[in-house]
Amino acid sequence: MHRLTLFALLLISICAFAAGTAQQRKANPDAKLHKYSTVIEKERPELDEETKRLISEYRRNPTEANRTALRRQVEKRYDAVVARKKAKLEELKRTAKDKSKVDEMQVIVNEMLRDRENRIEQTMRRFADPRLRPGARNAKDGYLPVIGAAQNLSIAYTPVTNEEYASFVKATGRKFPKGWQNGAYPADKAKHPVVNVSKEDAEAYCKWLTKKDGKATYRLPTAQEWEIAAGHMPKDADFNCGENNGTTHVTQYAKTLAACGAVDMWGNVWEWTNSVMTENANKEEGKKYCYVKGGAWDSRRTSCRTEERSEKRVANQGYANVGFRMVRVQ
């Protein structure tokens, strides 16, 4: 009887766990998509010896001929990836039971074709950047060089946290974010990214830190600078998207690194940029919109892609899924 009872309890537990997991995936169809989907390609192509040789040659002797040779190699590698994506798209058109899988891959292919020149040039700038060397992706003072951008530009390792923003509120008397009680953030969220801060709040924080530092200038990145720092989102990247009902610790997914070596650039919270939307919608509604990047805890995984460029927010409003990260100019 005792053994039967234990077996029954174990069986119930297993069924409950399976049902819970199934329910989570049903409620959050993009959660951990990279682990389930046949669309997601998990390989991360390594630089071949020829590419390494051409990079070395160009950096040692940056002539136009060496640059041209390296660019041709970069183009060849890029076009090979596009060809694989196109082949995968055609396969999905024949075999996928869910049209969303076809649509997802079609978006990726379209983006790669649209951004071909931009991505190749970004790659060339990274390869030519003298800061690209062993250890470049190790944050020694909380900031990392944005390889391929201006030589004096670096970006924060993590988004600004509640704990950091609280110091700013205390020093300046600025209104604390919605959700804080009596000027204090939730005790268990000190290292979570601060949210419910407008772009204007974020810019005020940057100005305060600039004055406090006295040497460097801190500001929000442009959308392009953010993209260069992030690099293309690895298809097997693990981050807070579609599986948590809120934010997580900024280093919870520290194994997922952006191109620059920063963490938490995809998922958790959208990040303000200082790139303003210039379309007519701004004038018609009398509101100033700015682009946000990276996706959030409640985003579809596909929306977190670095190349997603349609997401925007009203600059003077705060949102429960938007925070910010700074760049430093020295």
Please, what is the angle between helix 116-128 and helix 49-60, to 10°? Answer: 60
The three-class DSSP label of residue 88 is: helix
Question: What are the domain boundaries of the chain?
Answer: 49-128, 143-329
Q: Which stretches of 148-253 are assigned E, i.e. beta strand?
A: 153-156, 217-219
Give the confidence band of 48 by pLDDT, cuts at 50, 70, 90. confident
pLDDT digits (tens, 9 = 90+) for 149-177: 878 899 999 999 999 999 999 999 999 99
Please tell me whether residue 322 adopts helix, strand or coil conformation: strand
CB atoms closer than 10 angstroms to residue 3 = 7
Q: How confident is the model at residue 282 (pLDDT cuts 50, 70, 90)?
A: low
pLDDT of res. 281: 53
Residue 141 has pLDDT above 90, yes or no: no
Of 115 and 250, the one with more pLDDT: 250
- Rounded-to-integer distance, Cα 193 and Cα 213, Å: 22
In this predicted structure, the answer to whether residue 250 has a pLDDT above a threshold of 50 is yes
What band does 107 get if pLDDT is binned at 50, 70 and 90?
confident
Residue 15, pLDDT > 70, answer: no
Q: Does the pLDDT at position 24 exceed 70?
A: no
Report how far Cα 313 is from the mean position of its chain's Cα atoms: 17
Question: Which of 135-139, 284-288, 313-317 ranks highest by mean pLDDT?
Answer: 313-317
Q: Given a cut of 60, is residue 295 above it in pLDDT?
A: yes
CA distance 221 to 324: 9
Q: What is the pLDDT of residue 285?
A: 67
- Tell me the longest C-alpha to C-alpha distance in the chain: 83
Say what the pLDDT of residue 242 is: 80
Residue-level pLDDT at 294:
97
Tell me how many degrees the CA angle 97-307-121 measures, rounded to the nearest 5: 125
Q: What's the mean per-residue pLDDT of the chain?
A: 84
pLDDT tens digits for range 182-232: 889 999 999 999 999 999 999 999 999 999 999 999 999 999 999 999 988
Token duo for residue 177: 């974010």
Classify 143-329 by CATH class.
Answer: alpha beta
Confidence at 3, pLDDT banded by 50, 70, 90: very low
Mean pLDDT of 12-37: 41
> Among 22-36, 72-86, 208-222, which is the least confidently predicted range?
22-36
pLDDT of residue 77: 92
